[in-house]
Amino acid sequence: MTVIFSKKCEYGMQAVLYLAAQKPDFAINAEKISQVLKIPKEFISKILQSLRESGIISSTKGKSGGFFLAKSPSEIKLIDVVEAIDGLEMFNSCVLGFPECAPDTPCP
């Protein structure tokens, strides 16, 4: 079976979905996200940083600091999260592993 998304990307998707379910502009710290999603804090912190750098989420510092969506959930596409975490290289070849498949020569 071909794994389409990395574990890091799957965790990124989970984090975005979790933040989307929260009140708008309500900051949640990495430790809380780590506990709720059962992802090691160091790992989720790196993922959250990538999502922040890509503009999908924002963060605030301080006692009440944390992460929140940078835009409306309806404006965030799955491809945005994939690009932020894994990049788009995976879309340059066939997901089934056929060497002849490419954007200009799609699967039969």
Residue with tokens 């890091």: 8
pTM of the shown model: 0.82
Q: Distance between CA 81 and CA 15 in Å, rounded?
A: 10
Q: How far is CA 83 from CA 79, 91, 101, in A?
A: 6, 10, 21
Domain limits of the chain? 7-92
Res 107: pLDDT: 64
4's CB contacts (< 8 A; 6+ apart) are 90, 95
Contact 49, 85 (CB under 8 A): no
Res 108: pLDDT: 58
Res 6: pLDDT: 92
Res 3: pLDDT: 56
Q: Give the pLDDT of the chain (108 residues) as one tens digit per residue.
A: 455 789 999 999 999 999 999 998 799 999 999 999 999 999 999 999 999 999 999 999 998 899 999 999 999 999 999 999 998 877 666 667 777 666 666 665
Q: Which CATH architecture has domain 7-92?
A: Orthogonal Bundle (1.10)
